[in-house]
Structure 1
């Protein structure tokens, strides 16, 4: 018998068992999953990179 893996919900911090009984894992609920998705869609969350360019940088694929 293997020990269940427990993770914390990234949205609310509640403990979640990582397994078939937790269909929204790593989230505790559909609500927390949708809150997280909304934050990504609104660009409140992002993965940082050294080469981030904003739309105002006048970058195009033709420039070298």
Structure 2
């Protein structure tokens, strides 16, 4: 039992593995999240615009 807990401590204390922190130390939003939100917003806007164009085409025909 002591061996298992020692292995867990060794795995959790590795310094070469990246650590995921949800709280940022800097002020402001994470730039990666800002880029992701902008990308998703552009995709949604493009999709809505194309749907609007398609709707106009079908009502005119």
Instruction: Identify whether the pair has TM-score above 0.5, normalized to the shorter chain.
Output: no
Calculate the TM-score normalised by the size of structure 2. 0.34
Larger Rg: 2
If each structure's helix is expressed as a fraction of its own residues, which one has the higher value?
2
If each structure's strand is expressed as a fraction of its own residues, which one has the higher value?
1
